[in-house]
Chain A
Amino acid sequence: QSALTQPASVSGSPGQSITISCTGTSSDVGRYKYVSWYQQHPGKAPKLMISDVSNRPSGVSNRFSGSKSGNTASLTISGLQAEDEADYYCSSYTGSSTLFGTGTKVTVL
């Protein structure tokens, strides 16, 4: 299975909103509600930001939100802050495995 498709990079100015897309197929993103998003700072382990398409774990800022339409899931970061600069990965259940996205580097201008 190929990785889910994400844009290589997204950038925005502080205070702006950005959206990262995650495109899969009808066999993964389009079929299951088990889409997650992870934030990874350089040299650090990934951190769960969104689970089950749109659920925000305790402790995660409400500036982060998730959604899904068809075979594409999206992560929106509102009120962009310098600390949001990191790599972001989506993942989806496929029925028998977990598939990660290609990753998106978010740059805060």
Chain B
Amino acid sequence: QVQLVQSGSELKNPGASVKVSCKASGYTFKTSAMNWVRQAPGQGLEWMGWINTKTGNPTYAQGFTGRFVFSLDTSVSTAYLQISSLKAEDTAVYYCARDVSTATFDYWGQGTLVTVSS
């Protein structure tokens, strides 16, 4: 069965960096794009962008350029989200989500809570 398993919660100081992992299993990793979605506390879903798992080419949504980096390690079927120069407003749950077809996310990771606080 398809599973996306994300790394655990993180508590970081402002200005630090964090790397969230999303390990896929149960399907051929390179057949589906991987998306990242942010959900701030008590707020809605916000699409951050996606990464082409065949080429490694990332696409970032408006507002997620510069400090946000999507990457892959296809040898272990894992996608990564790295956020640098963390700010308090980056505090959120970050989800990875598999793209089954155009803008349709059929499997989601369990979410990773990133808390930015001194």
Chain A interface (Cβ within 8 Å of chain B)? 1, 3, 32, 34, 36, 38, 40, 45-48, 51-52, 57, 89, 91-93, 97-103
Query: Does B103 count as interface, using CB distance less than 8 angstroms?
Result: yes
Which residues 85-103 in B have Cβ within 8 Å of A in the complex? 95, 97, 100-103
Compute how far the CA of A48 lies from the CA of B101 in the bound complex, rounded to whole angstroms: 12
Complexed CA–CA distance, A52 and B100 (Å): 11
| Contact across chains for A52 and B104 when beta carbons are under 8 A apart | yes
A51 touches B109 (CB 8 A): no
CB closest residue in chain A, given B109: A45
In whole angstroms, how far apart are the Cα atoms of A46 and B45 in the complex? 9
Residue of B45, B46, B111 ringed by the most chain A CB atoms within 10 A: B45
- Give the interface size bracket for B toward A: 20 to 34
Q: Is the interface of B mostly helix, strand, loop or mixed?
A: strand
> Which residues in B have some Cβ–Cβ distance to A below 8 Å?
35, 37, 44-47, 49, 59, 61-62, 95, 97, 100-106, 108-111
When the two chains form their complex, are residues A48 and B106 in contact, meaning their CB atoms are under 8 A apart?
yes
A92-B103, A98-B103 known; A103 vs B95 contact (CB < 8 Å): no
12 pairs, A vs B, C-beta closer than 8 Å: A32-B102, A34-B101, A36-B104, A40-B45, A46-B37, A46-B95, A46-B108, A51-B101, A98-B103, A100-B46, A100-B47, A102-B44
Bound Cα distance A36, B105 (Å):
8
Contact of A36 with B103 at beta-carbon distance under 8 Å, contacts A45-B110, A46-B95, A46-B108 already known? yes
